[in-house]
Amino acid sequence: MEARSTDRKVFTITHQDNSIGQICYKNYFYVRAEIIISESNKYEIKPKGAFGTSLSVIDMANKNEVALLAMTWSGEIHISFKNQKEYVIKLNNFFSNQFFLENPQGDKLILIKSKFNWEKFHYH
């Protein structure tokens, strides 16, 4: 699976060269986004709480919160689903570009490798 930026606000998620969805950010400096898997399967990500350290994932079809993402001071992202499943995204080490998705038992389920090209980076 791969996520590629198609422009500065849209990321396309592909699996074996087939598009399986998009993440569309509302603007450059805001965490509000929309996840589009299909026309009938859309989710909204929006900040929750006073300090913006938590994000709510809302099913747009029925307006129910399906997950909560909470960022910690240690750089972890805790993901809590409404079905009581929980996961953590952790940085492999401080100078790494690799993240792991772990279950509560500490089993590494997914390796996430980020690639950043400074030559293509634009800012305004």
User: What does the chain come to in residues?
Assistant: 124
pLDDT value, residue 49: 77
In the chain, where are the structural domains located? 10-71, 74-116
pLDDT value, residue 98: 84
Is a pLDDT exceeding 90 seen at residue 79?
Answer: yes
Three-state SS sequence of the chain: CEEEECCCCEEEEEECCEEEEEEEECCCCCCCEEEEEECCEEEEEEEECCCCCEEEEEECCCCEEEEEEEECCCCCEEEEECCCCEEEEEECCCCCCEEEEECCCCCEEEEEECCCCHHHCCCC
pLDDT tens digit sequence for 20-58:
899 888 876 677 889 999 888 999 999 887 776 899 999
pLDDT tens digit sequence for 85-117:
999 999 887 777 788 999 999 999 988 877 666
Average pLDDT of 6-16? Answer: 83
pLDDT value, residue 118: 59
Query: What mean pLDDT, rounded, does the chain reach?
Result: 85
